[in-house]
Amino acid sequence: MKHQLSLQIGPVAFRIGSAWRAPIDALARLYAGYPEPERVCDFTVRLEPEQPWRRWIRPSVAIQGDYILPDAAPMSLAHGLLAAEMGMNLQMALGQKTHLLLHAASVEKDGRALILTGESGAGKSTLAALLGERGWRLMGDEFALLGLQDGRLRAFPRAVSLKNGAIAVMENEVAPERFGPRLDGTPKGAIRHMRPNRLALEAMADPARPVLILFPRFGEAAAARAVGQAEVFMRLTQASTNYVSLGAAGFDALTGLVGGCPAAAIDYPDTTSAIDMVEELWAQAA
């Protein structure tokens, strides 16, 4: 590819190639300070013109790579950075075989990990990003990687994808140089990526033992309830993109996680009350 960049994010090495310079430059700025892979990359993402001539005329980006979605809609070049991020997510979701991949955010403190999972829009990214600025290490806002052999969690601290109202929340907390450009008019509304802080990057190779699972839900009065293990298991199979393909290894890893961690669902009206609830439940679990 004409322009390319290699990135090590947690245990995964990516190579991103692009027919255009702009998305690679934007990625390089956003991922400043990430290590370069020291081995062959696990996944390749390619941003290519949908039709060859569309590199020049009203450019439109198609996401290609080791794993592709055949009917993924091409995106405008202005959203090339988002296309690269989506391409990296796609490679992980479809190609990850060494870890049980949970669609969840995670943060770490004292070698122990808190897993935040829930539907899109539940606020797990924002909550994890905030905790990452307030004494916790952000392990990742999108995917939690559970080791199949040791049951420990690996960090996957790619840039946090902030959407709509969460953008201003984090702009109040974090220095401007850690943000990518604001992308308006994407399929999910406004999106702005945020680089995790130095602690998250320096410790990205350090695993953590999961000790608490939370299912946050934004927009309700503050409340917490314990969630039974069978329900947690069922929800996490739904939150995993590779549970079925891993077979017995995935079953063993997930039952081990669920059997060893208390879990609670928390409703919260604002981020302050959410963080208070998280800290309180964490103190109980620890």
Partner 1 sequence: MTGARYAADPEECVRSVALDGLWLLFHKPSGMTHIVAPPAPQILEALRLGPADAGEILARMRAWYDLEGDDAADAVEARLEELEAAGLVRRS
> Under the rule (CB under 8 A), what is the footprint of partner 1?
228-230, 233-234, 237, 243-244, 247-248, 251-252, 255, 258-259
Closer of 175 and 230 to partner 1 (Cβ):
230
Q: Say which DSSP state 226 is in.
A: E
| 8 A C-beta contact, residue 282 and residue 115 | no
- Chain centre distance of CA 161: 8
Closer of 176 and 247 to partner 1 (Cβ):
247
Residue with the two structure tokens 């070698």: 111
Q: Closest distance between partner 1 and the C-beta of residue 235, in Å? A: 12
Closer of 245 and 272 to partner 1 (Cβ):
245
Longest dimension (CA), the chain: 60
Closer of 129 and 232 to partner 1 (Cβ):
232
Closer of 255 and 284 to partner 1 (Cβ):
255
Closer of 259 and 269 to partner 1 (Cβ):
259
Closer of 215 and 243 to partner 1 (Cβ):
243
Q: Closest distance between partner 1 and the C-beta of residue 178, in Å? A: 41
Token readout for 251 is 């079953």
| Interhelix angle 248-260/229-239, nearest 10 degrees | 130
122: three-class secondary structure by DSSP: coil
Q: Closest distance between partner 1 and the C-beta of residue 258, in Å? A: 6
Q: Closest distance between partner 1 and the C-beta of residue 241, in Å? A: 15
Q: Closest distance between partner 1 and the C-beta of residue 263, in Å? A: 11
User: Cα(17)–Cα(80) distance, rounded to whole angstroms?
Assistant: 11
Q: Closest distance between partner 1 and the C-beta of residue 83, in Å? A: 33
Q: Which of 108-112's residues contact partners 24+ apart within 8 Å by CB, and which partners?
A: 108/136, 108/137, 108/139, 108/153, 108/155, 108/203, 108/206, 108/208, 109/135, 109/136, 109/137, 109/282, 110/286, 111/206, 111/208, 111/209, 112/208, 112/209, 112/210, 112/211, 112/286
Strands 179-186 and 153-154: unpaired
Q: Closest distance between partner 1 and the C-beta of residue 242, in Å? A: 13
Burial, 233: exposed, middle or buried (Cβ in 10 Å; 0-12, 13-18, 19+)? middle
